[in-house]
Amino acid sequence: MGKIRAFLALNASEEAQSRIFEIRNELADIRSDIKWEPKDKFHVTLKFLGDVDETLLKNLTEDLRYELNGFGSFEITYKKLGCFPNMRMPKVVWIGAEDNDKKIFALNKTIEAKTKSYNFENESNRFHPHVTLGRVKGMRGINEVTELMESLEFDIIKDTASGVYVIKSTLQKSGSVYEVIDKIIL
């Protein structure tokens, strides 16, 4: 077994993906230098693992399956548009994800602790649950997109987080290709 590039995530349901895609499309109607993500890639990254040995990944997944046993599914809402690092200098366009009981933060904390025991670095940035809608590649149309983001009104999107997905990410010239290789039921 070799190494694969992988991450752990909550995948948006097909219904949530479709609703998020409608919002993304409104933003994408503006001609801009943003590479918009396809709807089948809409997810909340809990932990990016990078290049990881497949055997180690299997062991980590089994440990997480044990650790998260009984965690329980929870309602998640997608709302509020934003950019990293901020709206004045956007690099990533996103829609935020949250839940009333902060279970998404508890889930992230549990995963961070378990991956640290496998010698993965803790994330240096504060965890900010979101779905990436697009990545800024240049400045054409960016002001128009951020202006629309500030005025765009939409109903919050409710979804259920029922599992942590182990996702393989293969880099290609056209962009990354994702493949779900395991699911840890919550």
- Whole-prediction pTM: 0.94
Q: What pLDDT is stored for residue 173 in this prediction?
A: 85
The rounded radius of gyration (Å) of the Cα atoms in the chain is: 17
Measuring CA to CA, which residue among 167, 166, 157, 184 is closest to residue 71? 184
Q: What pLDDT is stored for residue 61 in this prediction?
A: 98
22-51 confidence digits (pLDDT tens): 999 999 999 999 999 999 999 999 999 999
Mean pLDDT computed over every residue of the chain? 95
